[in-house]
Amino acid sequence: MPAVRLLGAQLAIGAAAIFARFALSGAGPVAVAALRLAIAAVIAIVIARGFSRLSPRRELAFALAGLALALHFATWIASLSYTSVAVSTLLVTTTPIWTEIFDVVRERRAPERTYLVALALALAGVAIIALARTSVPAPIPGHALLGDGLALFGSVAIGAYLLIVRDAGVTPGTTKRLATRAIVARTYGWAALALAAASLVAHQGPPRASDVTAWAGILAMALVSQLLGHTALNAALRDFTPSVVALTTLLEAPIAAILAAAIFHETLSWQAATGAAFVLAGTGVALRRGNDATVTREKT
């Protein structure tokens, strides 16, 4: 069921902030992002059995998508060093704002009322959670605004990724989409190359071989959050619009907040719980609208 798969993807991705905190104990953010994507890319390429030939223009689009994905992970993972897990995840999930604005401008239309209701509910929840800031300081205190800015930039980057993949995944002149495994093999591969180059420039190497905690965090990010979560997110573009897929990423905020409270003892107040309920309600409206649109397309 498409909605269940999409919700499962957000659960896997929501745990990424926790995994990242452990990974950052032994390596810099760019190195962590590079290793995450490199491991996932190798496995994705093996599953896809290599690459099929595409036109240069289409290949360039996937390269740009990979670059956007690399920017997303590098900036968001870096933000976790300067602000709390909850606030970082909240800001990085503002993606639906950017995807919907892009579609509205490109298509010269007014946003759908149902989507506005879903977005209003979800963003109200985000605002409530954001006001309930955690009492546990970030690993590097005193730079909360930098952390917030990095997370916000990450949200714009993943929005660009979703939009590029949506268009590049469709064969020109047809409605046929490239298989999800072929798409992620390309985008993960390009992202891994970009991040590997960036880590060399930043002089950020991998964790020590004996650093079990950091490597466990990196492997969990690659296998759970990337291969399971983000691959399912790419597959969801077959059934939902980028704006609906982006809106469901708001689920990552309450998931990350709950996990951070349990593992890192970041305070989870009743305000945060209330905000999570709003986010869930908004996501439910968006998923229902997405399913209705899918049924309508199938009947026509």
Domains: count for the chain: 1
Q: What is the pLDDT of residues 13-66, one digit of tens each?
A: 989 989 999 999 999 999 999 999 999 999 999 998 877 788 889 999 999 999
* CA 55 from centroid of its chain's CA atoms: 27
- Tell me the residue range of the domain where 153 lies: 2-299
Predicted TM-score (pTM) of the model is 0.80
pLDDT at 289: 60
CB 76 within 8 A of CB 146: no
CB 36 within 8 A of CB 222: yes
Contacts of 296 (CB under 8 A, 6+ apart): none
Q: Percent of the chain having pLDDT more than 70? A: 91
pLDDT at 281: 82
pLDDT at 130: 65
CB 290 within 8 A of CB 244: yes
* CA 289 from centroid of its chain's CA atoms: 21
pLDDT at 290: 56
pLDDT at 300: 42
Q: What is the pLDDT of residues 233-265, one digit of tens each?
A: 888 888 888 777 877 877 887 888 888 888 887
pLDDT at 294: 47
Contacts of 219 (CB under 8 A, 6+ apart): 39
**Rounded to 5 degrees, what are φ and ψ at 177?**
-100, 145
pLDDT at 18: 92
Q: Which residues in the chain come in under a pLDDT of 50?
A: 294-300
